[in-house]
A = this chain, B = another copy of it.
Amino acid sequence: MNDVDRARLEAVALPSRKVAAREDIIREGEVPENVNLVLEGIACRYKVLPNGRRAIVAFLLPGDFCDLHVAILDHMDHTIGALTPCTIAEIPRTTIEDLTANWPRIARALWWATLVDEGILREWLVNMGQRPSDRKLAHLFCELQARLALVGLATENEFPLPLTQEELGDTLGLSTVHVNRVLQQMREDGLIRLQGRTVSIPDLARLKEFGEFNPNYLHRNNKHDGAHHSAAGALLPGLRRR
């Protein structure tokens, strides 16, 4: 993706809109006319089970597309909700279809974005299935630190975590009570500290070791997006400027 492509993509976005925390952005089954892109805030993909429990299957950070799916697939197979207040850019679905048909480099950049999403999902699946709860949390924190750092929202030893313990539980398949206890233990062990809504990490290497975190699945060296690290990440400055 070069500057011309980037300009082309910026040009097609509709004015951004605000979404309050805990409000849905798109619901399962819908066939929305626009594709959504997170500019600010944290959103999540989730499904609700028959027993009422919510399963969070992805976090959407600034620069992430919510639903490129609907430009290609027919309907949403899950819901997207804002975890914090969010600013969302909308791009008409027809525009995406036009871009992918006529601008191969943009098509590749978008495809790249979905492949990275897929890599993250595979890693979450491993995390979910095979690790004890303390390592699950450690792994998740490492990923959040890495991904937030890519868009300038985290440092080597600190990142904002505007999630409740219940939301962490919905993400990792743990009960709220157990998340609470595990977090306390991790604090005692000096793996993390929690002050207000930010996590600080005394020793990132140690946390990575403990959480068996290997960032290769994030594919941070994106050759299709120049210096930037996510297809839309490249657009953030331009889109925010409006």
Contacts and interface: CB of A to CB of B under 8 A. Distances in A.
Interface of A: 29, 45, 47, 49-50, 53, 55, 57-58, 68-69, 72-75, 77-78, 100-102, 104, 107-108, 110-112, 114-119, 121-126, 128-131, 172-173, 212, 216-217, 219, 221, 223-224
Contacts of A45: 122
Contacts of A129: 55, 128, 172-173
Contact of A173 (B72, B115, B130): B130
A126 B217 contact: no
A126 B77 contact: no
B219 A73 contact: yes
A168 to B, nearest CB: 12
Given A102-B104, A107-B111, A108-B72, A126 B47 contact: yes
A73 B121 contact: no
Contacts of A55: 125-126, 129-130
A97 B198 CA distance: 42
A210 to B, nearest CB: 11
25 contacts: A29-B216, A47-B122, A50-B212, A55-B125, A55-B126, A58-B122, A69-B118, A72-B108, A72-B224, A73-B115, A74-B219, A77-B123, A77-B217, A100-B104, A100-B108, A101-B104, A104-B107, A111-B111, A114-B115, A118-B118, A121-B125, A125-B128, A128-B128, A128-B129, A129-B172
Nearest to A172: B129
A72 B119 CA distance: 13
A178 B93 CA distance: 46
Contacts of A57: 122, 125-126
Given A57-B126, A104-B107, A128-B125, A116 B73 contact: yes
